[in-house]
Structure 1
């Protein structure tokens, strides 16, 4: 993706978007891991 055509504010928004997506992925993985651990302890 060409970021040279974007202004400074657009680049900052893109960075925020990437950080939010990363945080969401980590959160989803953490939730799945928690559910797996809970299921394993119940067995």
Structure 2
């Protein structure tokens, strides 16, 4: 299994959330995964 390409983003930032939507819309092969910095997953990945 190839390594995951995880993008961490500020879930409180409107611009960041719009960017995530842009990437999702263009990521037809579902290469990227996303986690907000405020989520439990985001917190764990930052460690």
Q: Which has the higher contact order (CA 8 A, sep 6+)?
A: 2
TM-score by length of 1: 0.37
Of Structure 1 and Structure 2, the greater helix share is in 1
Whose strand fraction is larger, Structure 1's or Structure 2's? Answer: 2
Task: Give the structure-2-normalised TM-score.
Answer: 0.34
Larger Rg: 1
